[in-house]
């Protein structure tokens, strides 16, 4: 059977296997794409896709385990409890169009925001991005001073597979807001 780059195959036990060709790959590999909820089989060339499919079939148990263990990312919804700096924070809708704000209540911290549906979720995510930026810039500065280094440019991004990265040549650090 011939396979092609980008093709999706059903997996035993549910899920899908996406075939991917990466000319820079030096070997066959399998990874889990948590956002897409599928396994990705990578081969260095299209003619080796048959090999990577056979390899993936031998690893069907491992793939099923990893797909089952992944955390489903769902949009932020009122009533949900999320973790911020190791503390549980309850999300609460306030009605109207107000931006999200963190409030300490006797029952614990509450992140209150206006908006409904996607607007609510977007406002909560924006709050987390701003809070992550403030926190990570402060922590980065502490470590730069400790190491006797000059300031760097800090960016907050939404990467798919990394918590962050750095580029020494242009003195920049990129963090995922999800850290």
Select from 157, 158, 160 the least CA-distant residue to 172: 157
Antiparallel, parallel or unpaired: β 108-113 and 164-167: unpaired
Q: What is the pLDDT along the chain (179 residues), one digit of tens a residue?
A: 789 999 999 887 677 899 999 999 999 999 988 767 789 999 999 999 999 999 998 998 888 888 877 655 567 889 899 988 888 999 999 877 788 999 999 988 999 998 888 889 899 999 999 999 999 999 999 999 999 999 999 999 887 667 889 999 999 999 998 87
Select from 105, 110, 109, 111 the least CA-distant residue to 124: 111
Q: What is the pLDDT of residue 31?
A: 92
SS3 for 111? strand
Q: Are 82 and 71 in contact (CB under 8 A)?
A: no
Dihedral pair phi/psi, residue 64, rounded to 5°: -60, -40
This prediction has a pTM of 0.61
Query: What residues are paired with 21 via a beta bridge?
Result: 43
Measured distance CA(154)–CA(175) in Å, rounded: 8
Q: What is the pLDDT of residue 64?
A: 85
Measured distance CA(95)–CA(20) in Å, rounded: 45
Measured distance CA(22)–CA(28) in Å, rounded: 10
In the chain, where are the structural domains located? 8-69, 81-176
Q: What is the pLDDT of residue 49?
A: 95
């Amino acid at each position: 059977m011939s396979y092609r780059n980008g093709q999706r195959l059903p997996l035993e036990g549910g899920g899908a296997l996406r075939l991917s060709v990466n000319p820079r790959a030096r070997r066959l590999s399998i990874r889990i794409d948590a956002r897409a909820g599928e396994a990705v089989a990578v081969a260095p060339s299209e003619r080796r896709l048959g090999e990577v499919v056979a390899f993936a079939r031998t690893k069907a148990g491992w793939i099923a385990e990893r797909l089952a263990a992944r955390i489903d990312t769902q949009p932020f919804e009122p009533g949900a409890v999320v973790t911020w700096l190791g503390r549980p924070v309850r999300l609460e809708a306030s009605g109207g169009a107000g931006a999200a704000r963190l409030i300490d209540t006797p029952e614990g911290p509450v992140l209150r925001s206006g908006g409904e549906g996607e607007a609510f979720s977007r406002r909560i995510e924006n709050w987390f991005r701003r809070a992550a930026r403030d926190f990570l810039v402060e922590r980065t500065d502490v470590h730069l001073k400790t190491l006797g280094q000059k300031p760097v440019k800090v960016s907050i991004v939404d990467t798919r597979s990394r918590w962050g990265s750095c580029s020494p040549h242009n003195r920049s650090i990129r963090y995922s807001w999800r850290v």
